[in-house]
Amino acid sequence: MRGRAFKARSADRDGATDRERISRIVAAIDHVLQSTEQEQAGLARRVQEVLARASVSLGNSSDEYLERDALDRHHQDLFGIEIANGQRRLLELDHMLAHLRFLKSATLREVQDRDTPSTVNN
């Protein structure tokens, strides 16, 4: 066989390449985590505002719900829909954040596992 003989890269160079790849993944996960946390914080604030508006529009009389006109009932229904949709999305974001944090943790463990010296049987 002619030509150059096969030569593998050093383990240090392979490790550096792998760490660089994994650091890009972690950076991407961090970016998604940050944007998801920002969405969650903004949405939670807006849901709280709608809850406050809804409670003010309910009134404070014990029989207020009996005397409410159709327009007020309609607005309460709209508030209810907004609140339910917001709370549904907040739950989805909670689940997404948990999965992203797990993914980041697992990815970082991969880096740690690669950096732990292993023994090679000869």
Per-residue pLDDT at 6? 83
In Å, how far are 5, 94, 98, 114, 115 from 14, measured between CA atoms? 19, 37, 31, 10, 11
- The pLDDT score that the predictor gives to residue 9 is 82
Residue 37 lies in a domain: yes
Count structural domains, the chain: 1
- Structural domain range at position 108: 12-115
Q: For 26-38, how does the pLDDT look when each residue is reduced to its tens digit (9 = 90+)? A: 999 999 999 999 9
Q: Report if residue 3 sits inside a domain.
A: no
Going by the DSSP 8-state scheme, the letter that residue 63 receives in this structure is: T
Task: Count Cβ neighbours within 10 Å for each residue of 16-34 and write b for 16 or more, e otherwise.
Answer: eeeeeeeeeebeebeeebe
pLDDT, tens digit, 9 for 90 and up, residues 85-105: 999 999 999 999 999 999 999
Residue 78 inside a domain? The answer is: yes
Specify if 6 maps to a domain: no
Assess if residue 1 is contained within a domain.
Answer: no
Q: What is the pTM of this model?
A: 0.71
Which residues of the chain carry a pLDDT beneath 70?
1-3, 57-68, 71-72, 114-122
Contact assessment for residue 87 and residue 54, using Cβ atoms and an 8 Å cutoff: no
Q: Specify if 80 maps to a domain.
A: yes
